């Protein structure tokens, strides 16, 4: 289960756990789970000149976990914006994803 960053329990340290940065995600769904395919945009274009992304990690979870995670993430972002100010996202990003700007 996810917990707020301010209330994180002490977890055993693992030097095998990757520490990653990503700037793209593709999400696949099924009745039994979600798959998050995280990537990093490449400076080199693909063979046809299209933008290229390198897969960094695949994360799988149950739909229930995804629902809870989305609510925890929304809460964390709201708290962050209260403290640091609004996160500006270009309108074109929302439009490209078929989302309504906030």
pTM score, two decimals? 0.75
Asked if 55 and 82 sit in the same domain, the reply is: no
Res 37 pLDDT > 70: yes
Task: Report how far residue 57's alpha carbon sits from residue 37's, in angstroms, rounded to the nearest whole number.
Answer: 6
Q: How many domains does the chain have?
A: 2
Mean pLDDT of the chain: 88
Domain identity same for 26 and 44: yes
Domain assignment present for residue 12? The answer is: no
User: Above pLDDT 90, what percent of the chain?
Assistant: 70
Q: Does the residue 9 lie in any domain? A: no
Q: Is the pLDDT of residue 3 over 60?
A: no
Q: Are residues 39 and 73 in the same domain?
A: no
Q: Is 83 helix (H, G, I), strand (E, B) or coil?
A: helix
In angstroms, rounded to a whole number, what is the distance separating the alpha carbons of residues 94 and 98? 6
Boundaries of domain holding 89 = 63-102
Q: Is the pLDDT at 14 greater than 60, yes or no? A: yes
Q: pLDDT category, 8, cuts 50, 70, 90?
A: low
Has residue 72 been placed in a domain? Answer: yes
């Amino acid at each position: 289960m996810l917990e707020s960053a301010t209330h994180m329990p002490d977890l055993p340290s693992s030097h095998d756990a990757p520490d990653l940065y990503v700037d793209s995600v593709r999400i696949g769904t099924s009745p039994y789970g979600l798959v998050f395919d995280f990537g990093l945009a490449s400076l080199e274009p693909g063979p046809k000149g299209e933008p290229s992304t390198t897969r960094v990690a695949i994360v799988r979870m149950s739909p229930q976990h995804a629902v809870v995670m989305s609510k925890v993430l929304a809460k964390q972002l709201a708290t962050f914006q209260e403290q640091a100010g609004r996160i500006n996202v270009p309108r074109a990003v929302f439009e490209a994803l078929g989302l309504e700007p906030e």
